[in-house]
Chain A
Amino acid sequence: MISVFFGPALAFILTIVGVLALRYAWADSARGRLPVFAGWSMLVLALPGWTAVAALDKAVALTMLAPSLVAFPVIAAGVEYKRAGPPRRPRRDAAELTAEFGRTRGLVSRTILAGPVAALAASALGMAVCLRAPMGEADRLILGGFLVPLAWAVFAGWALADTRVGRVLTILGLVTAGGGAGMFL
């Protein structure tokens, strides 16, 4: 049994060592995969330490929050102050200009796809889970409820990135139809 003092202390130390190991590993790819594995392992192994003061659900949240706090000072400690030359002019070649023109031309259609069309597809998917998923009522309602914003975000990100409007519309349409069928069948 880890005590309420040593548990979090151990977890925090493992988090610090884990972040430093990742810093060491990613600074030079020639250092191999061992320090990467060791770094991630230590971040995960911090979990039992947090369970000394928290139930598993809360311990997972603390395990995932802690590396953020540790990483910021590590990044700040390694800040590069080397003076750079004059700003490099970002390259804008013909292909990029053509692509940009194409994107601008399709902006309205992609906005509609990322907005209402993606929202409809995500809602159909989420509602189908809410109404038909093979689990308890509260479980499927919450799962479906969370699925709506998550699926909408994924669909919206994709719709904005993909210039092939027809493909996006077809797939989102299929998702909507599938969700709708799932709701009523």
Chain B
Amino acid sequence: MSRKAAPRWPKVPASFVRAMLAGHSELGLVLGAVIYLVCLSGTLAVFVNEFQLWEQPDSPIVTTVQPAAVGRAMQAVHAQVGPGIGDLYATMPADGAPRLIVSVFGPDVDRGWVADATGALADEDRTPWTEFVAELHMRLMLPRPVGEVLVGVVGVALMALLISGLLAHPRIFRDAFDFRLAGSRRLREADIHNRLSVWALPFHVAVTLTGAFFGLATVLVAALTTLSHENPMRLLDGPAMAADAAPAPFPDVAAILIDAEAAQPGGQTTFVGVERPCTAGQRVMVGIDMPSRLARGERLYFDGSGRQIGAGGYVSGPLGLQAYAAAASLHFGTFGGEPVKLVYGVLGLALSVVSAGGISIWLVRRRDQGRPLPVLEKIWPACVWGTPLALGVAFLGSRLLPPSPVFWVTLTGLAGLSVLFRDGIAASRWLRAALVGVLAGLVILELALSKGAGLTGYAGRINAALALAAITIAIPLAIARRRAG
């Protein structure tokens, strides 16, 4: 048995701790559900490339591609959508995302195609559920820019919770390894909440601060533009090139890609974009990943004739630009290949558990104090377990219906149904059992639709992860059922 003596740190006044804890609770209670939604969807969004492969398993898998094939694919898309429609972007196959995708973005168009290794277009890129998860995380399905700003505010609130949670925890070091699984429910929940919060703190701070920054960017840019009469985004946009609608041939993308890779030795091309294609004012930008750096990589810019006109400065430019590029990598977990993505998955799940656990602790504390909130005790598990459940139902229905309404209707319905249960524990058990069923259904459906292809490759990994999640949730349920008799 360990001995706990008096702390070496100066004693924190109890009134300060109580005040911090009260502020922490109030903020968590007001925004807990939205914070949980952003955290859980963000955890899933780390694997957006893998989910795209899982959702569209029949489209070509391309591990390497020749520059000429990229150029062919981009020209094919340009021919398909017609001139003047929008800018073209080709995303190269990479570790974890073995697919060549060419997209077109414009005021009235946002479409993508999957190409094979020769550059021939195979299928339209149709991954509505994956896009839904990403949109849910970035703007909670609200219109721009309201959604982004709201998510930014959620990030600020989570940052405030991290700070107040730390300050409200004077025994942070002495308790750093305590985990009392068989104590009272409040103690158990508090131990899980505190241990996951403290040990994953660098991750929590990194994703929260960068997320809040990106969410509030629209407002910050607008404010700075008003105050300084200059749009700060010009610093991120690379060398300017005036629009000129006079016709010009499509740029030689293959030659530009070869030049770009030669200009950044050791780099790997991640994307190429052609702005205002087939006009005299067209500009080509190439994204080069530098695997040893935290920043996602450098951007090189070329004119339509293939002449390099500048660089983004993300790797060798001013410290501010490098920090900006590093912030994106830190937020999305793109700086270390699949191992770092897996770590982000684990720690993202930890942050989701922390955000869900805060309200659970408060509910248990109220019950222990003799002031239970029975309806909220039943609705909260519906929010926690109902969110992944509704995401699963949205995927199951995504071949017939858009995922967003299915998700919201399912989540609202589950919250409504949950009040019919005897208590919160019964509601939680039922929801977890339903989640196990939906996860199993997803795996079976994917295996059936992919005609067995979902057993291997990236789709196989997602199916295995889902099966593992189902088993992990099912085992405690089975044990509890057995104990109950």
Q: Given B160, B209, B313, which contacts A156 in the complex, CB threshold below 8 Å?
A: B160
Q: A127-B224, A142-B320 are in contact. Are A75 and B179 (CB under 8 A)?
A: yes
Q: Are B212 and A153 in contact (CB under 8 A)?
A: yes
Q: How far is the CB of A179 from chain B (nearest CB, A)?
A: 11
Q: How far is the CB of B247 from chain A (nearest CB, A)?
A: 36
Q: Are B365 and A90 in contact (CB under 8 A)?
A: yes
Q: Are B223 and A123 in contact (CB under 8 A)?
A: yes
Q: How far is the CA of A83 from the CA of B340 in the complex (A)?
A: 38
Contact with A along B8-19 (1 / 0, CB 8 A): 100000000011
Residue of A nearest to B176 (CB): A26
Give the tally of cross-chain contacts (CB within 8 A): 233
Q: Given B23, B186, B295, B369, which contacts A160 in the complex, CB threshold below 8 Å?
A: B23
Q: How far is the CA of A157 from the CA of B156 in the complex (A)?
A: 10
**Residues of B in contact, count (CB < 8 Å):** 88
Secondary structure call for the A interface:
helix
Q: How far is the CA of A100 from the CA of B321 in the complex (A)?
A: 47
A140: B residues at CB distance < 8 A: 320
B241 at the interface (CB under 8 A from A): no
A27: B residues at CB distance < 8 A: 2-3, 177
Q: Of A74, A87, A99, A138, which is in contact with the most chain B CB atoms at under 10 Å from its CB?
A: A138
B187: A residues at CB distance < 8 A: 84
B199-235 interface (Cβ within 8 A of A):
199-203, 206, 209, 212-213, 216-217, 220, 223-224, 227-228, 232, 235
Q: Given B3, B320, B323, which contacts A28 in the complex, CB threshold below 8 Å?
A: B3
Q: How far is the CB of A41 from chain B (nearest CB, A)?
A: 16
B445 at the interface (CB under 8 A from A): no
Q: A29-B8, A137-B235, A160-B23 are in contact. Are A84 and B184 (CB under 8 A)?
A: yes
A/B interface sample: 9 pairs, CB < 8 A: A57-B322, A80-B179, A130-B232, A131-B228, A138-B320, A149-B155, A149-B156, A149-B212, A152-B159
Given contacts A33-B8, A138-B313, 13 further A-B contacts (CB under 8 A): A58-B335, A64-B206, A68-B199, A68-B350, A72-B196, A75-B177, A82-B183, A99-B18, A127-B223, A137-B235, A138-B235, A149-B159, A152-B159
Query: Which residues of A pack against B, CB within 8 Å?
Result: 22-23, 26-30, 33, 53-55, 57-58, 60-62, 64-65, 67-69, 71-72, 74-76, 78-84, 86-90, 92, 96, 99-100, 103, 107, 110-111, 114, 123, 126-127, 130-131, 136-143, 145-146, 148-150, 152-154, 156-163, 183
